[in-house]
Amino acid sequence: MNIDSTVLAAVTKFSHQFQMLTGRTNFFIAKIGRFMCFAAVALDIINYFAHVLPDKTPLWFLILGVFICIDFAFGATICDQADRETREGYDVLPPSVLLLRSYGFFLRGDSWRTLWLALTIFDYGMFIYTHPAPWLLCWIDKTWFSSGVLIFVYFIAVDPRPPIRHKKLVLATETTMNKAQQLKTAKVENNPATDCLQKWCSREYRKRKLTRMVHYWPCRRARRP
């Protein structure tokens, strides 16, 4: 699909730029989408007991929401693991990430992403049209679930950039270390204390020094009054 390809290309470009700036991969952003879904469902669960939204949450959604929260927490853990392993230099993605990528029921990946794009646009349109109160809580309840799923299904499909080693930085570091080693060697060679220690450690010098001391000590004692 052309719409899905365009959106996926834009998401890939954004996630790669985000990774270069912050070091975090696309799995970190996918985890944020999971937490948005978790917040929307958790608000509906709270609404069953506290009635903070205009419409009361039914009992069947309360039971279903508990399982949805567990599933979203599990998916966020997988995204966190994939983000950490990618930043540490692992080239192979965990099998659980591949399972999350194929999670689309009977639809293919592009159709599944396009469906959630349409649902997100519909939810925002209905929210702007109805404009319920309280505004902030209703915004989280009406739009965060579809937006979070949309963020997740797009960013989980992106292949992260491999760990970058900048050649200029590596060459500059090696040059600096070589110069530091040369300065250290020159300082050691020109140090009088080092020259004296090396001279004393030589066998010939010690032999001559001890011979002079043996011959000089009796003469010195004889000169005393």
| 60 and 134 inside one domain | yes
| 94 and 198 inside one domain | no
Alpha carbons 25 and 171: distance in angstroms, whole number: 26
Do 152 and 30 form a contact (C-beta atoms < 8 A)?
yes
| 6 and 73 inside one domain | yes
| 92 and 146 inside one domain | yes
| 93 and 137 inside one domain | yes
Does the pLDDT value for residue 166 go beyond 50?
no
| 173 and 160 inside one domain | no
* Residue 210 confidence (pLDDT): 62
Does the pLDDT value for residue 208 go beyond 90?
no
106 pLDDT band, cuts 50/70/90, is very low
| 60 and 80 inside one domain | yes
| Beta-carbon contacts of residue 194 (< 8 Å; ≥ 6 apart) | 188
| Residue-wise pLDDT tens digits, 180-206 | 566 556 555 555 555 555 555 555 665
- Mean pLDDT confidence for 120-142: 87
Instruction: Please state the domain count of the chain.
Output: 2
- Percent helix / strand / coil, the chain, rounded to 5: 80, 0, 20
Task: Specify the higher pLDDT residue, 211 or 6.
Answer: 6
* Residue 216 confidence (pLDDT): 55
Tokens of 182: 């040369």
* Residue 174 confidence (pLDDT): 53
Residue 211 is part of which domain span? 168-222
